[in-house]
Copies of this chain bind each other. A is one copy, B any other.
Amino acid sequence: MNETGRPQDFPLSNPRADRVRKVAQLAGRPARLKRSEFLAEGPQAVREALTLHQKRVAAGEPGVVYEVYASEACLDRHPDLETLAEGIDAYLTTDEVLAAMADTVTPQGILAVCAFLDVSLEQVLDAGPQLLAVLCQVRDPGNAGTVLRAADAAGADAVILTASSVDIYNPKAVRSTAGSLFHLPVVLGADIAEVAAACRARGIGVLAADGDGDVNLDTLQDENAARRIAGPGVESLFALEGPTAWLFGNEAQGLSEDELALADHRVAVPVYGAAESLNLGTAATVCLYASARSQKA
């Protein structure tokens, strides 16, 4: 931002400019991987990206936002974004340029080019996590983003995606996280057997969410409640209040037999009605909230 209060006096207006093309390429995985950059689109995502950026910079760490592109109308509606963009390369653009840069059909007036955020499994485990969500071969970007947002809401400490999962930096996945991607660490390309072994070595219980599971989540919750009231004498299969990693499987096939075998228990979310199964987002929500309630109680 310059001293006139607006990033520059004249907006970028040529949708065929090189700079515009370079940003637009980030909708595709090859450009993202090559440059280790991705797009955050819309006021909510950009606000969370900028907030994390400023927090990191204030702590002497590298920032996460490289460039911000915004229409004047958007900055008028969201003046806080201009303040948050302090110190970052920011450019006023026309709506036409934003449309050419953005992945969405109706861009929301602002986007940011961000640095990859993922961290190593060790970094996550060294921080002593209480609640982890592990996505195994999840293929749909909307589902992955929704689970990440639910994990954030449930207070999970990190989300781990295995290799052959969808790219969390896919614009649709980023959108589905509604900013949560900037709230909690993600680990990408993990090996599920390594994750399970590393969790177990650190005393983190491993539960598999499985429609055919032999342990009912209600039972675990009831045992937890009983133990809270009657004390540690109550027998229980699994201490839901202890550190826990939940494994969630592919949206169509669920967890494979090999993946299920890595868990301490196969836990079924109760279906009270006639639904044959739960969708991934619903199942993950119920499991993670059950853990959160037990852990925070």
- The chain A residues found within 8 Å of chain B, CB to CB, are 44, 142, 146, 149-156, 178-180, 183-184, 218, 221, 225, 229, 269-279, 281-282, 285-286, 289, 292-293, 296
Contacts and interface: CB of A to CB of B under 8 A. Distances in A.
A153 B292 contact: no
B272 A154 contact: yes
B184 A273 contact: yes
Contacts of A221: 293
A140 to B, nearest CB: 11
Oligomeric state, in copies: 2
A61 B183 CA distance: 53
A277 B270 CA distance: 25
Contact of A184 (B229, B274, B296): B274
17 contacts: A146-B279, A146-B281, A149-B275, A149-B282, A152-B273, A152-B274, A153-B272, A153-B275, A153-B282, A155-B271, A178-B275, A179-B276, A184-B273, A225-B225, A270-B292, A281-B281, A285-B286
A289 to B, nearest CB: 6
Given A154-B273, A272-B296, 8 more contacts: A146-B279, A149-B278, A152-B275, A155-B271, A178-B277, A184-B273, A221-B293, A285-B286
Contact of A156 (B273, B277, B278): B273
B149 A274 contact: no
A179 B274 CA distance: 10
Nearest to A230: B229
Contacts of A270: 292
A237 to B, nearest CB: 18
Contacts of A154: 272-273
B282 A155 contact: no
Contacts of A296: 272
A286 B283 CA distance: 10
B271 A153 contact: yes
A291 to B, nearest CB: 10
A26 B156 CA distance: 43
B273 A153 contact: yes
Given A282-B285, A285-B285, A183 B150 contact: no
B276 A178 contact: yes
A240 B149 CA distance: 26
A218 B150 CA distance: 16
Contacts of A184: 273-274
A25 to B, nearest CB: 24
A142 B156 CA distance: 25
Contact of A178 (B149, B229, B279, B281): B279
A150 B276 contact: no
